[in-house]
Amino acid sequence: MEDTTRLTSEHSIKLFIQRDYSEGTAVKFQERFPPELEGKIDRSKFIDIIRHINSIYAEAEALSCKTFMENCCACLTGYLLLLCMPTHYEKCAKRAARYISEENDRTLNPKGIFMIDPMEKGLRCIEVCISSNR
Amino acid sequence: MVRKWEIIESKNRFYCDGRCLTGRNIGVFILALVLIIVTSGLFFAFDCPYLANRLHPAIPVFAAIIFLTVICFIFRTACSDPGILPRGTSDEILYLERSNVSNSPQSVALPGRTIEVQMSSGHVIQLKFCSTCKIFRPPRVSHCSLCDACIANFDHHCPWVGNCVGLRNYRYFYLFLFSLSILCAYIFAFNITHVVLRAQEKPSFIDAIRDTPATVVEAIICFFSIWSIVGLWGYHTYLICRSITTNEDIKNTWNASRPGMTMKNPYSKGHSCLNCFSILCGPLPPSFLNLRAIVKPDDHINMTRNAMMNTNNAQDLIRYQHEENRRTNNNRVYTTMTHPYSERKQNSYPPRDYV
């Protein structure tokens, strides 16, 4: 156990941005600035990134004619259609992953922060690693 | 080359190199499948020729369409991921232990802690810690002991399909029940028609039955199963309209009257049509497990431990591979390189007691 403790405390910190369940089970991450990131990154920049991820997932989960049609068509083909085309949600999840990797390259990595796609954690939280030898 | 499904801890069976999964016990599922196939097979073999001649050639065609739909939906329900949540890693446990995300004091051990969420609808929801999956269970997530995994929007573990019914396969399950009710009623109705038509040609009703023993067998199977199938379908229609899960209905989560609390279901969209629409046709997240991802052997752990993650090898931590040519069945094109300290690595730490 000491190993993990040392790993996490001396060289890097990991933090997990939790889901915001105040509006039900819709995918939404807490839009608040973790104190561990104080002095590392601009507060509004970080919250903007989270807010953008939330907006992508909000779009993925929105009830729209498009998803309705998509599901009806898939249902009529016995859901075999889903084997050959990505759903709206999958496209959005992929877009969120792409956005996170772009932000990693552009703003986060130069400041020693690394953000991981929340899909890896089953959309429960966003894992953020901060390296502290900076 | 190790894929992620080979090292996953839940008690599921995986097939086709991680493309599909079922629960551990699939005996009852096979029984259900045999019952459906045998009954339909008898119908096609003994009733259809007579009925097609005597009444209309479209009767076997419709039966075949309904039968294929049933088979398609039962396999879809049984073989898709019901929404299994990946387990927490040791880093996450450590973070949760230290941080004050929960409302309980830090002196309380993690499994005893809860998170209270104040919802904008006025409900207060308690998130409990799952000591097996090592996560705070999000709302509507429940742990299935048979699959040994936390399932999103857990409905129930259905032995007949040999899998949990949850967020990702609930609509398939509902459509399976719906199509099976129709198939059952269809076969039963034409069994009766068959016997009645034959009775008109024969001197007595007993002779007609003696001529068609298979029809009688089918009629008996259908007669006994139709009530439970149609009943279950009706029950799930009622649940969908109210937007509650079987699990919540059994536990009576939204009816129990507690003083000073509004116990209206917070997940209901307000109108039953809207609830049906969002449950049956709403957007569906891809599987969280990414079962076909290739796990890199943990040979670079030592490197990470010594060189530690400064920004350059933070990239090594998790690497997304954009491999357009290796599209998995759920179309998540990126493949995850596992985390230095995740799943496999956990085994090399002294086991933690979270019971």
> With an 8 Å Cβ cutoff, are A78 and B73 in contact?
yes
Q: What is chain A's percent helix, strand, coil content, to nearest 5?
A: 55, 15, 30
B158 falls in which pLDDT band (50, 70, 90)? very high
| pLDDT tens-digit readout, A14-62 | 889 999 988 888 899 999 898 888 888 888 999 999 999 999 999 999 9
Nearest CA in chain B to A19: B138
Max CA separation in chain B (angstroms): 93
- Which pLDDT tens digit goes with each residue over A73-124? 998 888 888 888 899 999 999 999 999 999 999 999 888 889 999 998 889 9
What's the mean pLDDT in B180-194? 94
* Nearest CB neighbour to B283, from listed A18, A61, A114: A61
* Residue B300: how many other CB atoms lie within 10 Å: 15
Give the residue from chain A lying closest to B269, CA to CA: A24
Q: Tokens 């294929």 correspond to what residue?
A: B68
In the residue annotation, B158 being an active-site residue is answered as: yes
Distance CA A17, CA A37 (A): 12
What's the rounded Cα separation, in Å, for the pair A30 and A39?
A: 20
Dmax over CA atoms of chain A, in Å, equals: 56
Q: Which residue has the higher pLDDT, B172 or B355?
A: B172
pLDDT: is A63 or B256 the higher one? Answer: A63
In this complex, is the C-beta atom of B277 within 8 Å of any C-beta atom belonging to chain A?
A: yes
pLDDT digits (tens, 9 = 90+) for B41-66: 999 999 999 999 988 999 999 999 99
3-state secondary structure of A110: helix
Q: Are B103 and B149 in contact (CB under 8 A)?
A: no
CB–CB contact B283 A60 (8 Å): yes
- B340 has pLDDT over 60: no
**DSSP state letter for A38:** T
Tell me the ipTM for this assembly. 0.87
Q: Given CB atoms, is B86 within the 8 Å cutoff of chain A? A: yes
What ranges do the domains of chain A cover?
A: 52-113
pLDDT digits (tens, 9 = 90+) for B252-265: 877 765 555 556 78
The three-point CA angle B293-B298-B300 to 5° equals 115
- Say which of B158, B164, B184, B222 is annotated catalytic: B158
Signed CA dihedral, A55, A46, B92, B319: sign only: positive
Q: How far is CA B211 from CA A94, B187, B195, B223, in A?
A: 61, 18, 9, 20
CB contact under 8 A, A122 and B72: no
* Binary contact (A133, B152; C-beta < 8 A): no
pLDDT at position B69 is 93
A42 CA to chain B: closest CA distance, Å?
18
CA of A47, closest CA in chain B: separation in Å? 18
pLDDT, chain B, mean: 80
Q: Does B241 have pLDDT greater than 80? A: yes
**Closest CB to B95 among A15, A22, A117:** A15
% pLDDT > 70, chain A: 90
* Residue ranges per structural domain of chain B: 4-85+156-254+261-281, 86-101+108-137
Tell me if B92 and A110 make a contact (CB, 8 A cut-off).
no
